[in-house]
Amino acid sequence: MIDNPNRKMDGLHSTTKAGGIPAWPAALETLLSQALRFIGSEAPEQAPVLREADSRFRRRQWTVLVSGLCSVGKSSFVSALWGDSELLPTAVRDCTQTNTYVRIPDAGEADRQVLVSYLSRAEAAAFAANGFSFYRLAQMLKEVLGPYAPRLDEMSPEPRLRAALSAVKRLCAQRPEILVLHDYVSDEMEQLEQFMAFLDAPQYAAGTTVPAAWSERRDLLMGLRRPDGRTLDVGKLWSLQRVELVRRSATQWQGVPPVLVDTPWIPMFHEARRVDLIIEQARHADILVILALPQQFQFEDWVLAVFKERPELAPRTLIVFNQVDTIDTLLLLAREGFAASFRENAQRLAQHGIAPDNLFMSCARLPFLIGLPQDASVAGRIAKLQQVLSGIRKQIASRPDGEFKSRLLAACDPDDAGLVSVRRRLEGLAVEYALKQRAREALAALEALNPVLNLAPAAAHEWAVIRKKAEEAEGLIG
């Protein structure tokens, strides 16, 4: 039974509490607790579904997918946003090879953990058979052998890979000049051989999630590399579904920090694994953050495909023009400079449903560098960066106020770097979309109990009171 069921839930009728955090979530928790106590007493067999919805709401979990082209600073942006400069590996080359989850520890879970999730064998083989390495080898066989090339398209993925490798090896043994005329063959063949070998290796935990050492995260995310940058463990990388980093955030979030998903760059066609894994994440993301350089912006094809599938995601998509320190300051305010590009970008993005409030600028490199262990080299880079940003601030100080000026000043502010502004916007969107969605799911689970409850008159009255409060909550949530 609930305590004093006629008592007014004042929290549902107040907008916010201290710090700008809405008051209704706490009041809804109280309502759900009352409902669960009532169900547990009157109809315990109906409690599991409501308990699961209640748990999802209380966890406050929300997901932010971060994407962008190569070298726009995604990993340093995510690390700086999380408040840990050593969280993710960074380099000039394409670093992140698979989706990377960054989240805080759950209750009772240790900090600094790595969890590795593998694709099933069939999924991994299917992605590899649609990948660039296989495509290049298959095309080479068609070019050289013509109608005598193996009919790979008629095979299932794993036999297709093995047949292609066997045919290429046989052809190269018979005609060594192939390796000269098609100099890429050796590298692509080596990558596929690494992949096939890993599928049969004992460390491949197909379709499962296994722990790894915190110190291994760099190799898991970007692979073991030769001095020339080529990857030594392609097989393992191609078999990964995601890598999960469990780490406390040093940033002051209002409420529960999000799950950040750092995605790999999609460098070319025939990258089915990367495209499909990113789109799968985007289907479930609450918010999308796209990083770009401060220049003309165009959506990648996969983003447009996701917007077509989920049009409601566009209003909760942030475009962040990172690395403002790379702006050509001589052309900044000229017709061909970034000020003009920003205006054009804003007009074009509005056609896709991206509001001006969701356009930001940042210099994530500054807080990222400040968070690193300090030595003379890092101190010199910080000083040079601050000098550049100071020059940009002086250049636009006398310009009329507006979105462009305010965003650029925030990005050049050492205490903000654009990240504080982005974080506050993310938190607002989290309440507006993610938290309200979880609340609606909990209220829907509560409402679904109505037809299956067979209550005595006294209990029915108490349940009616709970339902009335649920209706009030739904009206407030909107």
Please provide the DSSP assignment of 1-29 as one string.
--SSTTS--GGGG--B-GGG-BSHHHHHH
Helix/strand/coil for 266: coil
Delimit the domains of the chain by residue range: 10-43+449-477, 63-104+249-428, 119-246
The angle that helices 47-59 and 24-42 make with each other, rounded to 10 degrees, is 160
d(CA 411, CA 359): 12
pLDDT > 70 in the chain, percent: 91
Structure tokens, 136:
């290049």
Residues 6+ apart with CB under 8 A from 407: 359, 360, 361, 418, 421
Amino acid at 247: R
The mean per-residue pLDDT over the stretch 336-350 comes to: 94
CB count within 10 Å of CB 15 equals 9
Q: What is the pLDDT of residue 264?
A: 81
How many C-alpha atoms does 48 have within 13 Å on its Cβ side? 1
Q: Identify the three-state secondary structure at position 209.
A: strand
Question: Which amino acid is residue 216, in one-letter code?
Answer: E
User: Of 231, 233, 236, 234, which is closest to residue 205 (Cα–Cα)?
Assistant: 236
437 in Cβ contact with 61 (< 8 Å): no
- Provide the 3-class DSSP secondary structure of residue 369: helix
Exposed/middle/buried for residue 62 (C-beta within 10 Å: 0-12, 13-18, 19+): buried
Task: Report the pLDDT value the prediction gives residue 14, as an integer from 0 to 100.
Answer: 40
Q: What is the pLDDT of residues 150-204, one digit of tens each?
A: 999 899 999 999 999 999 999 989 998 888 888 888 888 988 999 999 999 999 9
Question: Has residue 24 got a pLDDT over 50?
Answer: yes
Identify the pLDDT of residue 269.
Answer: 46
DSSP 231: B
pLDDT score of 97 more than 80:
no
pLDDT greater than 80 at residue 224: no
Could you tell me the strand order of the sheet in which 259-262 lies? Answer: 209-212, 113-118, 240-246, 99-103, 259-262, 63-68, 287-292, 317-321, 359-361
> Does residue 63 surpass a pLDDT of 90?
yes
Instruction: Tell me the C-alpha distance between 324 and 472, whole Å.
Output: 46
CATH classification number, 63-104+249-428, choose in 1.10.3720.10, 3.40.50.2300, 3.40.50.300, 3.30.70.2740: 3.40.50.300
204-215 pLDDT, tens digit each: 999 999 999 999
Contact yes or no for 141/164 (Cβ under 8 A): yes
Tell me 94's DSSP state. Answer: -
Mean pLDDT for the stretch of residues 22-38: 90
pTM of the predicted protein model: 0.87
pLDDT at 350: 96
Predicted pLDDT of residue 391: 94
